[in-house]
Structure 1
Amino acid sequence: MPNGGTDPADRAGEAPDPIEPAPDGGVALDGAAAASGASGTSETGASAEVTSDADETAHATDADAVSIALPRPGIVARIARRETRLTTRRGWTVGLTVVFAAFGLLLATFSGSGVAPTGYEPVVASYVELATFLVPLAALAFGHGAVVGAAERGRLGVVLTLPVSRAETAIGVYVGRAAVLGAAVVLGFGVPGLLLLREFGLAGWPTFAWFLFATLALAVALLGIGVAISAVAPTSTMALAGALLVWAWVALVHDLLAMGVLAALDGAGGFVAAAVAANPVSTYRLLALAPTEAGGAGIAAALDGGLSVGVLLGVLLGWVALGVVVAAVAMRAKRV
């Protein structure tokens, strides 16, 4: 059984105990409450509980034990809801939304001045440049403490005493935080989008909506990388350092090196495509600007290397999958 869970054969004839909600938003996952000794070690008093259908518990077999290694959607969803509640209570939703909205409103407010961009396409181009720095930083900051921070506070150890696998825990933590970050991106950039709608009308608003969708894809991709760093790092300090190094690479260093190599090669469509795919921020920049004239040249060069809009979106989704897989694998070897 995974991580100290109760043997289903020993619980076959027992009725589940009544369970009350944990004060920190702890969620029932499979039917058995966390051992009292484990919950007593949690510094924050967090408790996690496990519930499951009685039939599954009573009739579990060796064949079922093999299949349980696969992530169970119900367990993942419950861990995700718990993570969403905890991060929301700590103010992450409000804080991220305010940060995105503040910068977005500044651009939207000054968009009508003589020195600022006017119209949907110039404003969206300005938003994309802002998002290439701000969104990765926010996503990595939000994700870097997801696993190692919970481990240092004792909360992760409590969860892992329950019949829930480490892969399910990693995926659930990521999904819960992705929901919070996604809501912050949509609300934070959506508010200035309404101002643009009032100022420029409805004709060009699909361009802004596409920018919003691409930014959401970038946010969840970088969050996956942040959660992976959190699962690999032994301490929160090292996780923070790793997150900052990744941000510096994807937002600053990678493109500078790529442009230098591209200049040395005197242009090469294959290299452009490889350089874009190797950096989620570069992928996002082309994807977000695809409907605009500003992205025409970049898209043309990427198309020469085999990157279409659909492939660009697939690359970002691939970064999401990579981050989650690395986090799940690292969780299996992590000492808590």
Structure 2
Amino acid sequence: MPEPGEDGERDGEEPDQRSTDDEPDEGVPDGGVAVDDVSTAEAPRAAEPTATAEGRNASSLGRLVGGLPRPGTVVRLARREARLTVRRGWALGLTVLLAVFAVLLATFSGSSVAPSGYDPVVASYVELATYLVPLAALAFGHGAVVGAAERGRLGVLLTLPVSRAETALGILAGRAAVLSSAVVLGFGGPGLLLLREFGLAGWPTFAGFLLATVAVAVALLGVGVAISALAPTSTFALAGSLLVWVWTALVHDLLALGVLSAFGGAGEFVAAMIVSNPVATYRLLALAPTDAASAGLAAALNGSGLSIGLLLASLLAWVAVAGVVAAVALRRKRI
């Protein structure tokens, strides 16, 4: 298929004037997408913004991604991606896996060899999620773009009056919604056992853990989607995602602790090491309300100038940067 230009049209051809209503959602391969608020008169405008729109979107970000995306179109693309993702059953498997581990930890929390109370159980959940959730998020995102391109599904999607930036953001948003639901259901259901056993006193600690886990899952998913948009093949995307997981979940903290010992725990360096790794940020964010926040990198948090709000904002910044990288990479990718 000839490569579409940066504005979504094939070189030398007129924009497709067919109404998208002629192609129902289920009639398009792989579920399709209904962009039913874009009429035939609006299709050329979607592909090539008018002078007025160009004036409004003349920011550097707009030029970088080829025009600012339309929220309504992104939402429709996200719904399509979420629907297709749920059909594959991957999210259900992750939900069951998280729930099984969480139930085991919550069920045996009253035994003499298991943690007791909200703080120890949440600390155990964080240790589980530190390794499992980033791995699942990266695996979930690494084939989002390059895999769809290799199967021909992305090319079909780009024949519609949607920009590549909208496509990238829609893929990320749709998968983020499914992944967030899997995390909340997987850990939230067993969390009711904690509520029954320990009461409402420590429930805010558990709610903070859920929020932090969703945030790091979406952040690593964004990194996976960005890798998928940058990688030439699915094999390269898988290798890159595995390297990112090894670095963020296994290597970074060990290296950071060694460097901190050598530099005497300088506050500015601590802050830089924390925000440079979303998994380290997550661990501190989730453990901050618990007694477990006194070990490792968390012990240096007080001198770093970071707050809970800044930690959460850094995870959201990872999502935003990953979305921009994915949009720019997809704009330049040959499909």
Q: TM-score, normalised by structure 2?
A: 0.87
Corresponding residue number in structure 1 for 2:38: 52
Q: Percent identity?
A: 69
Corresponding residue number in structure 2 for 1:217: 215
Corresponding residue number in structure 1 for 2:155: 157
| 8 Å CA contact retained: 1:104, 1:192 | yes
Q: How far apart, CA to CA, are the structure 2 residues paired with 1:15 and 1:194?
A: 49
Q: How far apart, CA to CA, are the structure 2 residues paired with 1:275 and 1:26?
A: 42
| 8 Å CA contact retained: 2:227, 2:241 | yes
Corresponding residue number in structure 1 for 2:81: 83
Change (3 A) 1:56 1:161: closer
1:295-306 alignment runs, 5 A limit: 295-296=293-294, 301-306=300-305
| 8 Å CA contact retained: 1:139, 1:219 | yes
Q: From 5, 9, 14, give the equivalent of 1:4.
A: 9
Q: From 113, 116, 125, give the equivalent of 1:115.
A: 113
Q: Give the secondary-structure state (helix, strand or coil) at the position aligned to 2:244.
A: helix
**Structure 1 residue runs without a partner (length 5+):** 31-50
Corresponding residue number in structure 2 for 1:315: 314
Q: Offset of 1:113 from its aligned partner?
A: 1.1
Q: From 47, 50, 70, give the equivalent of 1:62.
A: 50
| 8 Å CA contact retained: 2:20, 2:39 | no
Change (3 A) 1:148 1:16: closer
Q: Give the secondary-structure state (helix, strand or coil) at the position aligned to 2:265.
A: coil
Q: Give the secondary-structure state (helix, strand or coil) at the position aligned to 1:3.
A: coil
Q: Give the secondary-structure state (helix, strand or coil) at the position aligned to 2:22.
A: coil
| 8 Å CA contact retained: 2:21, 2:34 | no
2:222 matches 1:250: no
Q: From 287, 290, 294, give the equivalent of 1:289.
A: 287
1:1-336 alignment runs, 5 A limit: 2-4=7-9, 7=14, 11=17, 18-23=22-27, 24-29=30-35, 52-53=38-39, 56=42, 62-63=50-51, 66=54, 69-296=67-294, 301-336=300-335
Structure 1 counterpart of 2:22, which letter? P
| 8 Å CA contact retained: 2:145, 2:228 | yes
Q: How far apart, CA to CA, are the structure 1 residues paired with 2:282 and 2:218?
A: 12
Corresponding residue number in structure 1 for 2:60: none
Q: How far apart, CA to CA, are the structure 2 residues paired with 1:306 and 1:166?
A: 39
| 8 Å CA contact retained: 1:139, 1:226 | yes
1:18-73 per-position Cα deviation (integer Å, ceiling 9, x unaligned): 3423253211125xxxxxxxxxxxxxxxxxxxx51466459887326635821011
**Structure 2 residue runs without a partner (length 5+):** 58-65
| 8 Å CA contact retained: 1:171, 1:328 | yes
| Farther off after superposition, 17-26 or 278-287 | 17-26
| 8 Å CA contact retained: 1:4, 1:162 | no
